[in-house]
Structure 1
């Protein structure tokens, strides 16, 4: 009898050890280390914009695959309601700043961005945006200027940066400048391959890439086609060549513009386009378990509210309370390695602090 009991205890103990080892391998006890981070910013995207897209898509979005959800507080250093420059800077640099400022603190001093931290640590870095790359949100991850309106100066910051790639609009700020300087030649001198359409963007799978596909902004969706998801895929294909890891910032820029116009149809179209780009990032995180994807917003735009709808038909009824930005908290959807760190309610500047903690970088 004692032998049977001892054998049973041995079998139970062995099962427990195997379960713990299995749990460890599956990430239950020790989640995968963060190697790649993709930050995706839906400019102006609040909960109503997300649910409008979900309703129009008959009840589902790729975004629903996210494992953890948080909320961030978006006020700037000098206003209850932030603009994209201060909101972008808060996420990129972990610093509240004045509305209109790019990559600087309230006193105007440059503050190191997430992408600059990453590049200093040997990671590949990139920016993708469905607007001019020199526009407020993407600029906040690269440039350091007192005003978002200084787009020619911001273009110089792109040239002088340690970026591996950038894809978006804004070509005129590089080659049709008031100072007559051709920054495209400087980009080539710094090793960038230039691409002016998506066909050429897709051809570049190694090295450095400057993809400037529009003189100013890419067209609204659907006129621009699948530019955003295809650009995210192209960026990942290039950046993943770095065995150390990569960090990529993606902006669904024109959700904001649709909401400024109180255009319900355009808001939904831009939201669904952004969601297709999110799918590309989530799919890559499934392939590489060391990848963290963060989907958030710099602020909400339009005070959008859903007053009716039908999930079976995709009908959405919406009203807007403003033509400008609002002060409400915005969602933070997170997927992949380290996602649990982002549950809860916190300041927008804490997003960078959480990423640096996961990486072990010093701020």
Structure 2
């Protein structure tokens, strides 16, 4: 069900009434939270495996899109430094850069950035799954389902936050959390994992969307342990009232959820499209906290490692890793590859307009080189899947 609200008056009223709730979702962007912590001391390492000389099939059957929210090249290299000079990302031999500008601003927000990747359409900041004229734009998961493929979304933010929402919803504004939650219920996604339980079970309209999901045959899980016990059939994981806790407090939630999602989706003979977001690299940039950004980068890389292992084994999965934008204008000013210490400064507390990296692995990876528009990522994926 697509509920695009066109009335700016009504949207303004809704925004006013839900201001306190919306602030709670966006609190990580509050300038008062900015504390300018410059140094990550190190000591958090993970083993990196190499996947060389893998002979891929001619074209992909499956696609995994991995978005490090707020991840620029400085965040990547900070994570590499923190992990003694190596990341799973080094397995990606095809690299490029994405230009992230939205339809109405040099600096995109996550809604417009996510929508560009999800739909191949530039849109205005704050819009979810719409084109620049406010019309619903079909996303890659909807295209995949039309072909009989399975679909999934895993995030460490609210499941109805801007970036993941762009792949499942069509709404006028990213802060329409309850409307986006309805869209997710109606989306038909096979696996959806993240936070945001409040917008499903503590809604202002009194409707319990978790009960709605159950009545439609969808399992609702409240933890990774519960998720991993679920077998056949669609599942929605709501692991927190709001955002999922930071890493390492949340444990290996992201990697375990990605492992679960791939194991579930790969059983489909027609293939799958999975979207994974490492959401809180962005929050580290907003708060100008080097340790925060580095820890989230390390967690995201471990989730990339899970996807790589599957792709190297089946040889028919294309993985594309990118960002919706860079956050904070991060600059690495010092580090130690032996201890994992990283020093960095931020020039800003918001998003920047600089290009972000694009990495690709698997059949069709050679398409993702050079400078490209963020909308080209969507188009290149569809080309690889023969959807165009």
Task: Decide: shared fold, TM above 0.5.
Answer: yes
Post-superposition Cα deviations, 1:109-135, rounded to whole Å, max 9, x if no partner, equal 000001110011100000000011000
1:240-279 Cα deviation digits (max 9, x unpaired) = 1101101000000000001100000111100000000000
8 A contact 2:57–2:315 mirrored in 1: no
Tell me how far apart the structure 1 counterparts of residues 118 and 54 of structure 2 sit (CA, whole Å).
30
Distance 1:178 1:29, change over 3 A: closer
1:54-110, CA deviations, whole angstroms, 9 ceiling, x for partnerless residues? 001110011111120011100000000000000000000101100000000111100
**Correspondence for 2:102:** 76
Report what 2:269 is aligned to.
243
Preserved CA contact (<8 Å) 1:103 1:144: yes
One of 344, 350, 353 as aligned partner of 1:327: 353
TM alignment of 1:48-87, pairs within 5 A: 48-87=74-113
Alignment of 1:340-359 (within 5 A): 340-359=366-385
In the alignment, is the contact (CA less than 8 A) between 1:204 and 1:238 conserved in 2?
no
Q: Using the alignment, how far apart are the partners of 2:65 and 2:356 within structure 1?
A: 15
Could you tell me which residue of structure 1 aligns to residue 338 of structure 2?
Answer: 312
Of residues 314, 339, 351, the one that matches 1:288 is: 314
Out of 263, 273, 278, the residue aligned to residue 299 of structure 2 is: 273
How far apart in 2 are the matches of 1:289 and 1:260? 38
Structure 2: unaligned runs, 5 residues or longer: 1-51
Distance 1:181 1:73 in 2: 40
Q: Does structure 2 conserve the Cα–Cα contact (< 8 Å) formed by 1:207 and 1:238?
A: no
2:134 to 108, 117, 124: 108
Q: Does the residue aligned with 1:129 lie in a helix, a strand or coil?
A: strand
Shift, 1:359, TM fit: 1.4
Aligned partners of 1:132 and 1:169 also within 8 Å: yes
How many angstroms does 1:31 deviate by? Answer: 4.5
| Rounded Cα–Cα distance in structure 2 between residues aligned with 1:293 and 1:172 | 32
Counterpart CA distance in 1 for 2:191 and 2:341 is 39
Larger Rg: 1
Tell me if structure 2 keeps the 8 A contact 1:31–1:338: no
**Matching residue within 209, 212, 217 for 1:183:** 209
Check if 1:88 corresponds to 2:114.
yes
Measured in 1, the distance between the counterparts of 2:54 and 2:198 equals: 49
Count residues in correspondence. 337
Aligned equivalents of 2:55, 2:299: Cα separation in 1: 36
C-alpha spacing 1:75/1:237, structure 2 compared with 1 (3 Å): same
Aligned to 2:147: 121
Asked if 2 retains the 8 angstrom alpha-carbon contact of 1:206 and 1:241, the reply is no
Classify the secondary structure of the residue corresponding to 2:66: strand
Counterpart for residue 166 of structure 1 = 192
Structure 1 stretches of 4+ with a deviation exceeding 4 A read: 26-31
Q: How far off its partner does 1:27 sit?
A: 9.7
The two structures, once aligned, show a CA RMSD in angstroms of 1.4
CA contact (8 A) 1:86 1:97 kept: yes
Structure-2 residue corresponding to 1:18: none
Q: Residue in 1 aligned with 2:166?
A: 140
> In 2, distance between residues paired with 1:77 and 1:89?
11
Contact 2:54 / 2:315 at 8 angstroms: preserved in 1? Answer: no
Decide whether the 8 Å contact of 1:205 with 1:234 is kept in 2.
no
What are the Cα deviations for residues 140-163 of structure 1, in whole angstroms up to 9, with x where unaligned? 000000000001000000111121
Output the CA distance in 2 between the equivalents of 1:310 and 1:27.
Answer: 31
Q: Structure 1: 5+ residue runs without aligned partners? A: 1-25
State the distance in 2 between where 1:29 and 1:184 align. Answer: 43
